[in-house]
Amino acid sequence: MISILHYVPLLRVWIPFVAAALIAASLVWIWLKVMRPLSIKARSMSVVVGIILVVVVHQLVEHVWHPVAEGLGRVTWLWASPALVAAVMVFAGLTRRKQWLRRFCAALCAWLLIAAGAALGINYHFEAYPTMAEVVGGGVRTISWDELKNPDEEARSARVAEGAVVRVDIPSSDSVFKPRQALVYLPPSYFADPQATLPVITLLTGQPGTPQDWLVLGKLPQTMEQFAASRGGRAPIVAVVDAFGSQTANPLCSDTSHGKVASYLEVDVPKWLRENFPVSTDAGQWAIAGLSSGGTCALQVATRAPQTYRSFLDMSGEAHPQLGNEERTISEGFDGSRELYAANDPVQVMKTRRYDATAGIISWGSDDTSFKEGLIEVDEAAKASGMTVETRSYPGGHSWKVWKAAFEDQLPWLAERFGL
């Protein structure tokens, strides 16, 4: 079944037109069939109420709840809004009992088609899932800790050839921050010579997101397999870890009352990796990398803990940790402390410290103009602090197309830093 889903594309150029057609046709169906017992005036009023609901929900999500620091974006709201309007239309239409069950089934089908159209449009905009197989998790093979430690002969041979991705729980020393399960890529050389010392890349996703996204959307296993094959099986260990705790939380990669995320990334994760794998103890063999808010976090970690990470990749990160604006960020994210905010803002930190041994790459999508300006500010501050930094741009926007290409392109640079 999964193999068939690989033939269902989701990023072809015609996808948004199909999505728009689904939404438009379903709205017309609701208007003509589900709302049939209502007058034209009543139908029109329900549409107006639906639009008002969109505005209210937008304000609540973007300015009160604010689950995503940079906001969900206009395109996301453009695709999602018809589902909210349709919900009001359906509710209004079903207030009349005439042929209620029949109209309910029609309404449910129509609304699901609208939701599917919205999902297709949003997915296309962010260039996320290329086929339906990735949506259901097809093609991503991971193993448990027990499978890693107790392999059969067939599994051992396969891992020497291809490496493996193992699911692990890396605990936090803080009781407040509850990280989600991490994923660790182990190169073929680890299985060929389990005692060989290897460099490490700690990899972060953005928000919303999960560590699994780097496997499914970022194609990490394929990228690392190709890289290792070009170097005789040698490659870094890549630990994809969680810096958020959930799909909606944003503890700003810092030690605050919301959890000690900085300590987790700078102390707990390195300690656990050193205790469980033959990794280097040299900071020059460690890198921190991330995308979007994970890119911001990567730079925060690199500036706070150069004794642990000497290299970083900031892919489409923000210039400053943020929850919408500076005042709200300080008030809600840093317990009202400007000093705590400054100590975790990499641009401010780089003005007070030297980083002559640190190097990194700052990158963005060519169409991602809103993030580019902040990243140029980061680049200037990094160079002024003594870092060896370069910038790179890739075709696309704030999307997985860009981040996948960026990581694949920047991996050889990291390997050179590691001496591979």
C-alpha 36/C-alpha 27 separation (Å) is 13
Domain boundaries of the chain, sorted by first residue: 2-132, 140-418
C-alpha 360/C-alpha 52 separation (Å) is 46
C-alpha 282/C-alpha 401 separation (Å) is 32
**Given this model, what pLDDT does residue 257 score?**
94
Is the distance from CB of 412 to CB of 285 less than 8 angstroms? Answer: no
Residue positions counted in the chain = 420
Contacts (Cβ under 8 Å, ≥6 apart) of 227: 235, 411, 412, 415
pTM score of the predicted model: 0.87
Residue 76 is which amino acid?
T
Cis peptide before 67 (omega within 30 of 0): no
71: closest CA among 286, 323, 367, 296? 323
Residue indicated by tokens 């700078």: 266
Give mean pLDDT in consecutive 10-residue pieces for the chain, a chain of 420 residues. 75 94 96 92 96 95 78 89 95 85 90 96 89 77 90 78 93 96 96 91 95 94 94 95 93 96 98 97 97 97 98 97 90 94 97 97 94 95 98 95 97 95
Query: pLDDT per residue over 130-141, tens digit each?
Result: 888 888 866 678
Residue range 140-418 forms a domain whose CATH class is: alpha beta
Cα 242 to chain centroid distance, Å, stands at 10
Query: pLDDT per residue over 1-27, tens digit each?
Result: 556 877 788 889 999 999 999 999 999
Helix axes 74-93, 15-29, angle to 10 degrees: 20
- E strand intervals along 83-189: 164-168, 182-186
Torsion region of 316: left, alpha or beta (phi above 0 gives left; psi -120 to 50 gives alpha): left
**Given this model, what pLDDT does residue 139 score?**
63
Is the distance from CB of 186 to CB of 164 less than 8 angstroms? Answer: yes
C-alpha 409/C-alpha 415 separation (Å) is 11
C-alpha 290/C-alpha 201 separation (Å) is 10
Run of H or E residues at 383:
helix 369-384
309: closest CA among 278, 284, 346? 284
**Given this model, what pLDDT does residue 11 score?**
87
C-alpha 373/C-alpha 370 separation (Å) is 6
Residue indicated by tokens 């689904």: 22
Contacts (Cβ under 8 Å, ≥6 apart) of 258: 176, 177, 249, 251, 252, 333
* Residues β-bridged to residue 312: 288, 360
C-alpha 326/C-alpha 338 separation (Å) is 10
**Given this model, what pLDDT does residue 197 score?**
95
